[in-house]
Structure 1
Amino acid sequence: MTTHALLQAFKASKPAFGAWITLPGVLNARALAQASPHLSWVMIDCEHGLTSLQPGAAESIQAITGLGPNAPSALVRIPATGVSDSTSWQIKYALDAGARGVLVPMVSTAEKAREVVADSRFPPGGRRGFGSPFTHGHWGLSAAEYINSANDSVVTMIQIETKEGVQNVDAIAAVDGIDCLFIGPYDLSLCLGYPPPSPDPHSDVEVVIQDILKAAHKAGKKCAIYCTSGTQALKRAEEGFDIINVTSDIDAMTRSVVENLSAAVGAQ
């Protein structure tokens, strides 16, 4: 079976650090995925990023898994949100493309969380259909092996980033099959009536973030958060977050250009 670095981090009970892919193209995805041995996962963002769900995400997943046994787990954030009826087929597309996990934005109710689980699991644990001639091969498995192991190997993640989601967080966290609650600090801040983080969230939003972390762990689930720097990510790891985004492709590229050009012109 192809290595699933995110699950390995889960089993080792250590923070799983990752990076966000917002730019399209297999070469960009592959370059980021092999940039550091500390990457446990990469998120191909089909919601706000410029990668299409098909064929873009599928091609990027193959470019990443083709790096070999040390490749980070390729995850996909689907474009449809938890308030949409179109999440089902998008989850299917992402998982059939070989994604090790799926992230669904703006899930606000336990009912929607159960739908996400059903679409991510084969029967009898869900309603996911099997038919792709490619998926199992991308995992390095036979079709039978993939069907028998996918329900335990695919990581199902939902984002808590609405006022309703915060109100229902305990019920959402209790849903069997949800592996992780992912906090999006930007939309969470806006939905609660606060400005976006700059770079840290407002103190009132921070209280909510810590409550979500506690709710996830109380239910025996992982909790993830989006950070924008290594310093911020370290702080979240010390607080007990399990899955932590450290940077993105566009942010890393921009910062490098700014820092190196500033050094070149002698700017302080």
Structure 2
Amino acid sequence: MAAHNLLNALKANKTAFGAWLTVPGVFHARTIAQSSPHLSWIVVDCEHGLVPLVPGAAECIAAIESSKPTGAPSTIVRIPGTGVTGSTSWQIKNALDAGARGVLVPMVSTAEKAKEIVSDSKFPPAGRRGFGNPFTHGTWGITASEYINSSNDSILVMVQIETKEGVDNLHEIARVEGIDTLFIGPYDLSICLGYPPPSPDPHPEVEKVIQKILKESHAAHKKCAIYCSSGEQSARRAAEGFDMINVTSDMGAMSEGIAKHISAAMGQ
């Protein structure tokens, strides 16, 4: 079995902390991956980030997975297509063929779409994913036959709950077999519900919805994840019982770090 830090943490019921990668580049991705021994996962953002799905995601994944002899962060790819419009099938195929340990699909609003995502993420007989990429199993560090035999149980299928329709259909989405994690996008969720985006915390009415998603996820024996923008905010979410938490982003951490050190240099 290939190394999979995120999957191991979730199976052990340990909070898995991660980071968002929005800029392409092998050395950039490797630097993020080596930033902390406590980093369980990295999302390569092909939706709102500047990383192209092909070949950018594959290059980032290869850099991350080879960043440490053992225990590299698990790489999740957020695809550009959403669960609201258009087909996501080919994008899921590209993300998984690139070697991703999991796929994250934005704005999933119905159980039907969630079922389609599961089917596209798994080889037959559990799904309809095709096999043929000559690089995928090498990125995982295993043989092609080992990859085919283990990937259905190893690849994490994640859907984002961030639309009003998704909240309305939450109970049904959470109970789709094969969905591993419900991921809360607090910014789009706030906007779609008619509230301002978090600054840095969500509006109290949005917070009620966030807690509802957490409760519903766990009731369906699924993991619940959320995007945070700081370590302090992440610590509060961990105490609330979230299983998977984004702590920061590459661009956010870089900007904050430079500003902090400039201020210190100026005696501020």
TM-score bucket (shorter structure): over 0.9
Query: Aligned to 1:233, what secondary structure does the other structure show?
Result: helix
C-alpha RMSD over aligned residues = 0.7
Structure 2: which 5+ residue stretches go unaligned?
none
Size of the alignment, in residue pairs? Answer: 267
Asked whether the 8 Å contact 1:2–1:69 carries over to 2, the reply is no
The equivalent of 1:21 in structure 2 is 21
Matches within 5 A, 1:56-205: 56-67=56-67, 68-205=69-206
**How high is the sequence identity, in percent, across the aligned residues?**
69
Asked whether the 8 Å contact 1:224–1:242 carries over to 2, the reply is yes
Query: Aligned to 2:14, what secondary structure does the other structure show?
Result: coil
What are the superposed Cα offsets for residues 136-179 of structure 1, whole Å, 9 maximum, x if unpaired?
A: 11112111111111000000000000000000001000000000
Structure 1: which 5+ residue stretches go unaligned?
none
Matches within 5 A, 1:233-248: 233-248=234-249
Given residue 236 of structure 1, which amino acid in structure 2 is its aligned partner? R
Q: CA deviation at 1:221?
A: 0.2
Asked whether the 8 Å contact 1:82–1:106 carries over to 2, the reply is yes
1:213 aligns with 2:214: yes
The equivalent of 1:30 in structure 2 is 30
For residues 86 and 160 of structure 1, the distance between their equivalents in structure 2, rounded to whole angstroms, comes to 18
Q: CA deviation at 1:11?
A: 2.1
Q: CA deviation at 1:87?
A: 0.6
Q: CA deviation at 1:2?
A: 3.2
The equivalent of 1:52 in structure 2 is 52
Given residue 189 of structure 1, which amino acid in structure 2 is its aligned partner? S
Worse-matched range after superposition: 6-15 or 217-226: 6-15
Q: CA deviation at 1:83?
A: 1.5
TM-score (norm 1): 0.98
Structure 1 runs, 4 residues or longer, greater than 3 Å off:
none
Worse-matched range after superposition: 150-159 or 80-89: 80-89
For residues 127 and 27 of structure 1, the distance between their equivalents in structure 2, rounded to whole angstroms, comes to 34
The equivalent of 1:261 in structure 2 is 262
For residues 203 and 83 of structure 1, the distance between their equivalents in structure 2, rounded to whole angstroms, comes to 26
Query: Aligned to 2:20, what secondary structure does the other structure show?
Result: strand
